Copies of this chain bind each other. A is one copy, B any other.
């Protein structure tokens, strides 16, 4: 299979496949005549797995470890459980950060509606940003 054929039914892009190939998760053979990379059924299978794992929040590096473990014939399951737990923690952190940022942004936009535009002064670049108090709107 050529990269575009491999990509066809899976919901992903050629660039993504090429990236996975570059980091060694997929191992196509190079055509003698073309120079084109030829993917086999195992690659298709691995790709499907990679995409599933990515959707669950595993990093590409995580997936590499998991595949390596599985290639030895061992269960990757314990590793998978541990990693996902860790990734969940990180996602929780990102979630909280994003939540807080979103609140700050909305709060700023609201607060700015009653404020005029001003030219910068010697010690004030933008009074909107510098005058915004992140904790406003709290009480």
Q: Mark A82-104, 1 if CB is under 8 A from B, else 0.
A: 00110110011011001101101
Number of copies of this chain that the complex holds: 2
Q: How many chain A residues touch the partner (CB < 8 A)?
A: 53
Q: Is A77 an interface residue (CB 8 A)?
A: yes
Q: How far is the CA of A137 from the CA of B111 in the complex (A)?
A: 40
A118 touches B49 (CB 8 A): no
Cβ-based interface call for A120 (8 A): yes
Grouping DSSP codes into helix (H, G, I), strand (E, B) and loop, the A interface class, with mixed when no group exceeds half, is: helix
Q: A126 is contacted by which of B66, B91, B92, B128 (Cβ under 8 Å)?
A: B66
Closest CB in chain B relative to A18 CB, distance in Å: 21
- State the Cβ distance, A52 to closest chain B Cβ, in Å: 5
Nearest residue in B to A45 (C-beta to C-beta)? B123
Is A126 a contact of B55 with CB atoms below 8 Å? no
* A binding-site residues for B, Cβ under 8 Å: 45-46, 48-49, 52-53, 55-58, 66-67, 70, 73-78, 80-81, 84-85, 87-88, 91-92, 94-95, 98-99, 101-102, 104-106, 108-109, 112, 116-120, 123, 125-130, 132, 134
